[in-house]
Amino acid sequence: MVYVRFGARLLAAVLMLAVSYLVLTACSQSEQTAEEYLMGTYVTLKVYSPQAAVIEKTVERLREIENLMSANLPESEVGLINGAAGKSAVKISSDTFNVIETALYYSQLTNGAFDPTIGPLVNLWGIGTDKARIPSNKEIERSLRLVDYRTVILDKEQQSVKLPYAGQALDLGGIAKGYAADEAKRILKANGITSAIVNIGGNIMTLGTRPDGNPWRIGVQDPLGPRNSYIGIIQLIDETAVTSGNYERYFEIGGKRYHHILNPFTGYPSRSGLLSATIITKRSIAADALSTAVYVLGLDRGMELVESLPGIEAIFVTDDFKIYLTKGIIQRFDLTNPEYKVENSGQNK
Ligand code: ADP
Ligand code: MG
């Protein structure tokens, strides 16, 4: 009896020591975290730094980007460009100009699978809003005629953008969060931070390694499971991982799912046989545009495109529960969900 009590006390003492050790290590690494609702999604920042102010600076910058680029704010720069469609060019900040220029670059690269002039279709479907509905074929045809990235007029000297036809509308929802993640990283780095992770609604950006020197371990969302359930884990150092999927925003009618990634050629939510597409690379703006684009392109064309781009890797999940990896990510992906099978396009791990 006495022995047991003594044992319990000893255990308690050891536990106390362990707890104080944990608290100490946590303090020396000064983990600062913040959670905000921004850009229509949840944003989390985890920064290893003694200064708390750097998080505020970063969040402020994200808010600024949202106010410039949200298509839902009529007074944002994108709102002003859309308001002047068919009428005049609008002078804008270098921020918005660069994002539009980059968006058009990825439109060209993907032959229009990514198209920031998708606005009229996005508004027509209203997916994710209380006005979501299935439009008529006539309505889709009418909106489709306005969707064409090649019509956007950029004037570099004036730093202005013009949409030549009335009714046209830019929507940077497929790329602005990537830019925001890049900007968050730039600010953290400029403030001397060497270890951080930023999550903008599932768009992950890592800075450096974890404080213990190991790679960040990032779960790839299970497209069919509840939020924060994973198909597998990837290891990242100083890279970004961005996923586009049919599970983010959607509505269902008659057992059919209508989701928010639209095919600019058909005007309907993309049905390419993919449940999700994840892009892993350095720049989140590239990852964001490309994840949306390859989701539309589907496995074969998406895989071909990504393998042709240096420094860019991808994870495709198909609707028959198979996972396809580009060559450069095979060694860094660990399957954790046995319902899925890694195919590796014929290569062996
Ligand atoms: P998420 O917003 O869930 O991270 P994406 O990055 O794939 O997902 O972006 C989807 C958003 O991009 C849509 O909500 C819409 O605003 C816009 N969008 C939809 N289809 C396209 C497309 N084919 N090209 C460019 N942008 C698109
Ligand atoms: Mg995207």
Write the DSSP assignment of 41-64 as a string of letters. EEEEEEEESS-SHHHHHHHHHHHH
Distance, CA of 225 to CA of 130 (rounded, Å): 24
Give the position, in ligand 1's atom list, of the atom nearest the Cα of 244. Answer: 7
Asked whether 183 lines ligand 1 (CB < 6 A), one says: no
Distance, CA of 149 to CA of 139 (rounded, Å): 20
Q: How would residue 39 be classed by pLDDT, with cut points 50, 70 and 90? A: confident
Q: How far is the CA of 16 from the centre of ligand 1 (A)?
A: 50
Name the closest-CA residue to atom 5, ligand 1.
174
Residue 276: predicted pLDDT? 96
Q: pTM here?
A: 0.90
Residue 257: predicted pLDDT? 86
Nearest by Cα to 202 from 220, 183, 184 = 220
Give the position, in ligand 1's atom list, of the atom nearest the Cα of 203. Answer: 4
Q: What is the mean pLDDT of residues 273-298?
A: 98
Distance, CA of 276 to CA of 220 (rounded, Å): 10
Q: How far is the CA of 174 from the centre of ligand 2 (A)?
A: 4
Question: Which H or E run includes 267?
Answer: none
| Span between the terminal Cα atoms of the chain, in Å | 56
Question: Which H or E run includes 22?
Answer: helix 2-29
Residue 254: predicted pLDDT? 86
Q: How would residue 133 be classed by pLDDT, with cut points 50, 70 and 90? A: very high
pLDDT surpassing 50 at residue 269: yes
Q: How far is the CA of 110 from the centre of ligand 1 (A)?
A: 14
Give the position, in ligand 1's atom list, of the atom nearest the Cα of 127. Answer: 14
CA angle 235, 52, 218 (to 5 degrees): 15
Q: Which amino acid is at 77?
A: E
Asked whether 248 lines ligand 1 (CB < 6 A), one says: yes
Asked whether 296 lines ligand 1 (CB < 6 A), one says: yes
β-strands 274-281, 230-236: how paired? unpaired
Nearest by Cα to 277 from 263, 297, 262 = 297
Please tell me whether residue 295 adopts helix, strand or coil conformation.
helix
- Helices first, then strands: H and E counts in the chain: 9, 17
Give the position, in ligand 1's atom list, of the atom nearest the Cα of 178. Answer: 6
Distance, CA of 163 to CA of 154 (rounded, Å): 9
